[in-house]
């Protein structure tokens, strides 16, 4: 059970505190309720660009990293389709340094042409290195465009096109910042060797005077129900053929999410999973195969993907995958198999919460979903899933009309 306190400042900033006297460290985590789904379709990649810009200095602090390192701290950040998360860890005695740095860049990020030019170049290089020049780098660009017609999940977090970042102006960037990076749109979590009263005082001191900003009201297009299968067959300079197939799945807060999450483990999590046992070990069609999903806040995708053994046609690989799915739809799972994946889920969640940094990030994420205490109660949702739930969900999700299939063939 993760204990925490919660209060909200007058400017709308939500603050959560988790005391852990067993560590000499403290973590300060700031989650902003903005991801790539909140971008203008003609100006994508901005949430991720900001992940870089936020380290480019503020009006009062030229180098964020330098000041944090002087206090013995380390930091990082990540962006998804749904959120942007910044976190730093440092000796608990120096926690005020983290309050100073985080509040300063929320209030007065330095918008200079130099900073934008530097970070834009970094992001453009990342785009080229990981998505243009890398084998299979454009797989998810193709898949997302095929799977989504309306919803902004149809572009990657890095952005839809390189030119959107290349052409980002200082004015564009400022507008995006003042729309999203405000106390009313943020969740602050402080965890570690601290006391709640101290955090309250520091939060009021450093964040209390920051103007609330306008609470961002999300209004993204709803993806219409898909009524026919979609397919794509491409050839590129890659080492071996690859196969990907996705299906639309429920959103993260839909009760159906839990059986679907367990289905991905049954099918493709680790060497004892069904797909690995059958398609890699027994039939030797794939060199590796996985089943996973993205846990998206809006309706996401469940994916099966793998690299094929040389000489195996994608058509044959797909037929073998579908045979496994039909077996699940017809026979379902045994009680023992279901218990095994539930126990694995429990141990995974327990392991994830071992570090104070992960606990801070989890509290922020669950608060974003609507209730930080879900962190303590969500396991009950998994344990409530029955074998019949798995059977019914497998029949709903794996409808062919709900699917998107990508053959990615190696040239020659």
Range 375-395 average pLDDT: 97
381 by Cβ neighbours in 10 Å (0-12 / 13-18 / 19+) ranks as: middle
Q: What is this structure's pTM?
A: 0.95
| Residues 236, 321 share a domain | yes
- Does the pLDDT of residue 151 top 90, yes or no? yes
97 is a domain residue? yes
| Residues 247, 192 share a domain | no
Range 99-126 average pLDDT: 91
- Does the pLDDT of residue 315 top 80, yes or no? yes
The length of the chain is 412
Write out pLDDT tens, residues 193-223.
999 999 999 999 999 999 998 889 999 999 9
Task: Tell me what pLDDT residue 24 has.
Answer: 97
The tokens describing 9, both together, are 């400042």
Task: Tell me what pLDDT residue 21 has.
Answer: 97
- Number of structural domains (the chain) is 2
| Residues 263, 168 share a domain | no
Q: How confident is the model at residue 380 (pLDDT cuts 50, 70, 90)?
A: very high
- Give the strand pairing for 242-249 and 230-236: unpaired
Range 128-152 average pLDDT: 96
Task: Tell me what pLDDT residue 214 has.
Answer: 87
| Residues 363, 309 share a domain | yes
Range 177-187 average pLDDT: 96
In eight-state DSSP terms, residue 136 is: T
Task: Tell me what pLDDT residue 60 has.
Answer: 86
Range 180-189 average pLDDT: 97
Task: Tell me what pLDDT residue 61 has.
Answer: 87
| Residues 144, 14 share a domain | yes
Task: Tell me what pLDDT residue 112 has.
Answer: 85
The tokens describing 16, both together, are 């959560």
Write out pLDDT tens, residues 6-44.
999 999 999 999 999 999 999 999 999 999 999 999 999
Distance CA 48, CA 77 (A): 10
Residue 74 parent element (H or E): strand 74-79
218 is a domain residue? no
Q: Report which of residues 372 and 55 the model is more confident about.
A: 372
| Residues 263, 170 share a domain | no
Strand partners, 43: 40
222 is a domain residue? no
| Residues 357, 249 share a domain | yes
DSSP state letters, 210-230: S---PPP---PPPPPPP-S-E
220 is a domain residue? no
Task: Tell me what pLDDT residue 311 has.
Answer: 94
Task: Tell me what pLDDT residue 56 has.
Answer: 81
| Residues 302, 185 share a domain | no
378 is a domain residue? yes
216 is a domain residue? no
Task: Tell me what pLDDT residue 397 has.
Answer: 97
Range 222-234 average pLDDT: 96
- Does the pLDDT of residue 111 top 90, yes or no? no
Inter-axis angle of helices 257-268 and 374-383, nearest 10: 70
Torsion sign over Cα 150, 152, 153, 156:
positive
Q: Print the domain residue range for 318.
A: 230-410
Range 101-123 average pLDDT: 90
- Does the pLDDT of residue 364 top 90, yes or no? yes
| Residues 185, 81 share a domain | yes
Task: Tell me what pLDDT residue 270 has.
Answer: 86
- Does the pLDDT of residue 62 top 90, yes or no? no
Residues with Cβ within 8 Å of 379's Cβ and at least 6 positions away in sequence, in order, are 345, 346, 349
Task: Tell me what pLDDT residue 135 has.
Answer: 94
- For the chain, the average pLDDT equals 96
| Residues 273, 200 share a domain | no
265 is a domain residue? yes
Write out pLDDT tens, residues 154-169.
999 999 999 999 999 9
Residue 29 region, left (φ>0) first, then alpha (ψ -120 to 50), else beta?
A: beta
Q: How confident is the model at residue 113 (pLDDT cuts 50, 70, 90)?
A: confident
Smallest CA-to-CA distance from 304 within 327, 330, 284, 324 is with 324
- Does the pLDDT of residue 314 top 90, yes or no? yes
Write out pLDDT tens, residues 338-353.
999 999 999 999 999 9
Q: How confident is the model at residue 63 (pLDDT cuts 50, 70, 90)?
A: confident
Q: How confident is the model at residue 108 (pLDDT cuts 50, 70, 90)?
A: confident
| Residues 256, 348 share a domain | yes
| Domain of residue 151, CATH code | 3.30.830.10
Residue 72 region, left (φ>0) first, then alpha (ψ -120 to 50), else beta?
A: left
| Residues 175, 246 share a domain | no
19 is a domain residue? yes
């Amino acid at each position: 059970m993760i204990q925490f306190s919660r209060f909200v400042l007058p400017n709308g900033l939500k603050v959560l505190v988790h005391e852990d006297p067993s560590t000499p460290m403290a973590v300060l985590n700031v989650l902003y309720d903005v991801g790539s789904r909140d971008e203008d379709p003609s100006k994508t990649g901005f949430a991720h660009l900001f992940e870089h810009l936020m380290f480019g200095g503020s009006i009062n602090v030229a180098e964020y990293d330098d000041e944090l390192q002087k206090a013995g701290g380390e930091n990082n950040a990540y962006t998804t389709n749904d959120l942007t998360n910044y976190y730093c860890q440092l000796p608990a005695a120096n926690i005020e340094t983290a309050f100073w740095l985080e509040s300063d860049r929320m209030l007065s990020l330095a918008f200079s042409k130099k900073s934008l030019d530097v970070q834009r170049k970094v992001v453009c290089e990342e785009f080229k290195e990981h998505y243009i020049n890398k084998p299979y780098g454009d797989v998810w660009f193709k898949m997302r465009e095929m799977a989504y017609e309306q919803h902004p999940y149809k572009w990657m977090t890095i952005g839809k096109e390189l030119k959107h970042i290349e052409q980002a102006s200082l004015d564009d960037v400022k507008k995006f910042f003042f729309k999203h990076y405000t106390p009313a749109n943020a969740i602050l979590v402080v965890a570690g060797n601290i006391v709640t009263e101290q955090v309250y005082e520091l939060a009021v001191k450093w964040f209390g005077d920051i103007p609330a900003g306008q609470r961002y009201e999300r209004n993204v297009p709803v993806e219409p129900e898909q009524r026919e299968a979609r397919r794509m067959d491409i050839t590129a300079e890659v080492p071996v053929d690859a196969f990907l197939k996705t299906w639309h799945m429920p959103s993260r807060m839909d009760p159906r999410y839990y059986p679907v999450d367990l289905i991905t483990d049954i099918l493709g999590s680790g060497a004892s999973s069904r797909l690995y046992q059958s398609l890699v070990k027994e039939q030797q069609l794939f060199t590796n195969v996985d089943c996973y999903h993205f846990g998206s806040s809006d309706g996401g995708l469940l994916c099966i993907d793998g690299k094929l053994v040389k000489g195996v046609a994608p058509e044959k690989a797909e037929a073998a995958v579908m045979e496994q799915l039909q077996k699940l739809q017809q026979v379902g799972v045994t009680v023992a198999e279901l218990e095994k994946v539930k126990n694995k889920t429990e141990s995974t969640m327990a392991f994830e919460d071992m570090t104070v940094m992960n606990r801070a990030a989890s509290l922020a994420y669950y608060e974003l979903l609507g209730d930080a205490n879900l962190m303590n109660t969500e396991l009950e949702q998994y344990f409530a899933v029955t074998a019949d739930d798995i059977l019914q969900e497998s029949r709903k999700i794996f409808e062919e009309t709900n699917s998107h299939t990508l053959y990615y063939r190696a040239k020659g």
